[in-house]
Structure 1
Amino acid sequence: MTWNNCFSPKRFGMENASEDIRSEYERDWDRIIFSSPFRRLQNKTQVFPLPEEVFVHNRLTHSLEVASVGRSLGKIIGKKISDLEEVKNDNKARPFYRNSLKSVIASACLAHDLGNPAFGYSGEEAISKYFKKRDTQKIEDINFKNNFSDAEWQDLITFEGNANALRVLTMQQQDRSKGGFRLTYSTIGSILKYPCESLASEKKILHRKKYGFFKIDEKVFLDIVNELNMIPDNVESRITYKRHPFVYLVESADDISYNIIDFEDAHRLGILTYEEVSTIFLDIIKENPDYDIKWVTEQAEILKGDPNESISYLRAKSINTLIHKCSKVFWENRDQILKGTYEKSLLEDIPELESVMKKIEKISIEKIYNARKVVKLEIAGFRIMSSLVEDFVSSALTPKDNRDNEQKKILELLPKQFSFDESSNPYVKVMHIIDFISGMTDIFALKLYKNLRGIEI
């Protein structure tokens, strides 16, 4: 892999693209923005329950903000790469980095959460809960598990939003276009945060901490990594690759956004005080040599009549500081990043900010992610999502002639684009069910759960 061959304007699922006034990469952005899965993010929880009277971030607003940060990172790094000796004389690579990398990173950021289910961080585990409950030594559970290969079973007991994002972007649903969103390979490759199969995941290794594709999408994944000349990882008998360089920028944009924005939301909800949040933000800002910290502090104090406005001001300065710090880390480690030997996230490799970022993590775990309203949402999410999986999966895997009336009615609720062929193997049937459930919004999942249990007609 080189800077000259790690990108491609080709579209997944299309032989030839029609000409347009927009670049191929700008068209990626538009395809995501106008898609149904993207719109549904507005009713999916980020961290805090969907707001009643105080506005906090949901998956959609988070994705838009990550895309904004990602565009800035892509623009900074793109300009630097375009001036490299091996790039500046390449009439395809130079204009790509100078003009289009920012669009690729922004589009990938926009799409990075499309595979995340409802109810925040608990949604993924909730989908797997039914299968984990069936992982016992009881005869009926052993027979159930025998329906799946080891790789398929690993997918089901460790449902992964990152792998699901690839599936959402590329799968062909019934009566829909081949190739899914038909994005460029460059944009799709930029979201492959964990480019390995589920059986190859290893928590201690950054690029294999989780996994990036379901077994059902193996051919799709291999097509993408081959087109982008990604580097195979040396893991015997497992499918795993080194990260694509652009992934680090997308990951960084996400890390910056949620670390800072979760604090801002926690302040709006009264979980964290003004002093707690402003102190943390000022500790970040003071490491930016372009800012006069005394002046920034004075401006924040002037705005303190509206504490939310003051925090917003400091949030903007904090994000800008982190963008430039992460860009610097990327550039200093660009050779390792290109070779696939860089095993850190950019945000955790800023020595002067290490202590403050650890403080953010500690406070987030203790006060934000374990806040009462967040915990209550997670518990509800577990029960709602795992129950829906159980209802639909048990119905789908019961032979057609043996289904009772209730199971038949449940499957009639499955939208046409998620329907399956009765002759399909159990794993394919289950994946169609998960496609449906993982795409639900919080509100839709709750309503369906109530309907199926007779709580609400």
Structure 2
Amino acid sequence: MSQNARWEDIFSINRVGREKLKEEVRSGFQRDFDRLIFSSAFRRLQNKTQVFPLPGSTFVHNRLTHSLEVASVGRSLGKIVGSYIADNDLGHAKNGDAAEANAGAGEFYRYELSNVIAAACLAHDIGNPAFGHSGEKALSAWFIEHKAIQSFFSPGEWADLINFEGNANAFRILTHTFKGKLPGGFGLTYTTLASILKYPCDATAVGSSAHRKKYGFFQSEQENFLEVAGALHMIRDNGATPAQTRAASPQAFFRHPFVYLTEAADDICYQVIDVEDAHRLGILEKGEAQELLMNLMRSIGRPTDNMDRVGKTVAGIGDANEKIAYLRARCINTLTLQAADVFIENRDKILNGAFNSTLIKTINKAFHALDAIEALSVDRIYNHESVIQIEIAGYHVMSALLDAFVPPLLKTVPDARDKKMIRLIPDQFLDMGESSSPYQKVRCALDYISGMTDLYATELYRKLKGIDIPLHR
């Protein structure tokens, strides 16, 4: 994007590492969605913690069910916003190439933006390791605690390692050519990839702005990121701190507009659905959960939310879980419509990189609709005993796995035990040779460990510690 950017210039059917696909029954953007749905990386999300420990008899959300629901909300946001842009914001050339381009843009926004956002929503958590955000923190903490190996890495590489980021890992999984796999990773369109880049900067350019709170790509994927950013005319953010200026070539861009829709779908789902899960697990009483959700709708006060009618409907539902499920659906609908309105109202700023907030934060600033839910979530959901227990367990498991795999990879002359440990890493991740840098070698271990499910990581930990002894079958 560039100043005074155009909606016609910020999407592309081109793909990382592959030629443009011919249009067939499914569009390229629909194929992005399908490739993600059928991928093993997406399936593994079913055994990765969302917030609460993976269930016994009570089924709460995991990363996979969360991503599917986010995709549903994202599709709605893409449809609403895309239709508005198609009707109001495209050029009106009457003949020639410009007219053809505008017609193509109209088709994209009216019929394909919803597919792009849905696909991006499926992919948004695909780089998250086991054990939720505590898994990310555990991977980072290991390198911080082993500062003696810092000299092996450049400043940018070390910044990656001591701040493991699931968003950057998602971009790597989706674009990296793993050993024995097809080039360009999943072969997704630039447009879908840009729609997950919430933080389009590297680890050395992290700052206080909304688009630089974290980072979105590892040093190893910088070339792929710049390919996407260049193709979609993303605006470079040149405002670097003195420390960042001293770092080796920090890269930072403003967000692509479509990211705001992906992010809003995610924010809407986890804010509201965590309340539903907490009720199902008995952390919140029915009346408490009901009042939280009713107040959310009251505070925004959309004309479509007739609270008298909502109250009567809730009163007529006998099952407690069904009451909360109904209110959850109504709240998601309210927030989705409101988020679309905020995007449309701020679309010029969003298009030109001047919108330094999120859609949901903007809603909450105006209505304080989520204040009570956020406060309760921090106090009683995210710090619930069961959540803390899984986080602590995750620290132990992930740290032990790094202890097992990283040192052997960094040794110039690995001993017999080290060689056996390296042989446990699947071949697709073990992409290194004699000339591989320490960073490339460590990425092999991180690719393997970060892709593990909660169950697989725990089982491997127990086997390596000798708690469970593998038996021949």
Hey, what does 2:273 align to over in structure 1? 261
Q: Which moved more, 1:148-157 or 1:10-19?
A: 10-19
From 317, 320, 334, the counterpart of 2:347: 334
From 240, 245, 254, the counterpart of 2:252: 240
**2:8 maps to 1:4:** yes
Matches within 5 A, 1:279-298: 279-286=291-298, 287-298=301-312
Report the Cα distance in structure 2 between the residues aligned to 1:148 and 1:380, rounded to whole angstroms.
Answer: 29
- Distance of aligned partners of 1:322 and 1:14 in 2 relative to their CA distance in 1, 3 Å threshold: same
Matches within 5 A, 1:140-179: 141=148, 144-179=149-184
Unpaired runs of 5+ residues, structure 1, are 136-140
CA apart distance, 1:171: 0.4
**2:104 maps to 1:99:** no
CA apart distance, 1:441: 0.3
Hey, what does 2:427 align to over in structure 1? 416
CA apart distance, 1:354: 3.9
8 A Cα contact 1:163 1:213, kept in partner: yes
Report the Cα distance in structure 1 between the residues aligned to 2:367 and 2:387, rounded to whole angstroms.
Answer: 27
CA apart distance, 1:355: 2.5
Report the Cα distance in structure 1 between the residues aligned to 2:212 and 2:367, rounded to whole angstroms.
Answer: 23
Unpaired runs of 5+ residues, structure 2, are 94-101
Report the Cα distance in structure 2 between the residues aligned to 1:352 and 1:296, rounded to whole angstroms.
Answer: 25
From 302, 306, 320, the counterpart of 1:307: 320
8 A Cα contact 1:88 1:94, kept in partner: no
**2:184 maps to 1:187:** no
Q: Once the two structures are superposed, what CA deviation does each residue of 1:270-319 show, in whole Å capped at 9, x if it has no partner? A: 1111122111111122322112101101111221x311000000000000
Hey, what does 1:138 align to over in structure 2? none
8 A Cα contact 2:363 2:369, kept in partner: no
Q: Which moved more, 1:274-283 or 1:92-101?
A: 274-283
**2:17 maps to 1:13:** yes
Hey, what does 1:397 align to over in structure 2? 410
CA apart distance, 1:18: 3.6
Hey, what does 2:122 align to over in structure 1? 110
- Distance of aligned partners of 1:434 and 1:85 in 2 relative to their CA distance in 1, 3 Å threshold: closer
8 A Cα contact 1:87 1:94, kept in partner: no
Report the Cα distance in structure 1 between the residues aligned to 2:390 and 2:111, rounded to whole angstroms.
Answer: 43
- Distance of aligned partners of 1:85 and 1:425 in 2 relative to their CA distance in 1, 3 Å threshold: closer
Report the Cα distance in structure 1 between the residues aligned to 2:349 and 2:371, rounded to whole angstroms.
Answer: 25
Hey, what does 1:251 align to over in structure 2? 263
**2:362 maps to 1:357:** no
Report the Cα distance in structure 2 between the residues aligned to 1:38 and 1:72, rounded to whole angstroms.
Answer: 21
Matched residue SS, 1:100: helix
How many residues end up aligned between the 2 structures?
A: 446
8 A Cα contact 1:70 1:250, kept in partner: yes
Report the Cα distance in structure 1 between the residues aligned to 2:364 and 2:449, rounded to whole angstroms.
Answer: 42
Hey, what does 2:97 align to over in structure 1? none
Q: Which moved more, 1:9-18 or 1:445-454?
A: 9-18
CA RMSD of aligned residues (A): 1.2
Q: Once the two structures are superposed, what CA deviation does each residue of 1:371-426 show, in whole Å capped at 9, x if it has no partner? A: 00000000000110111112100111112xx3232221111110000112232010
Hey, what does 2:464 align to over in structure 1? 452
CA apart distance, 1:351: 5.3
Matched residue SS, 1:4: helix
Report the Cα distance in structure 1 between the residues aligned to 2:251 and 2:354, rounded to whole angstroms.
Answer: 17
Q: TM-score scaled by structure 1?
A: 0.96
AA aligned opposite 1:47: V
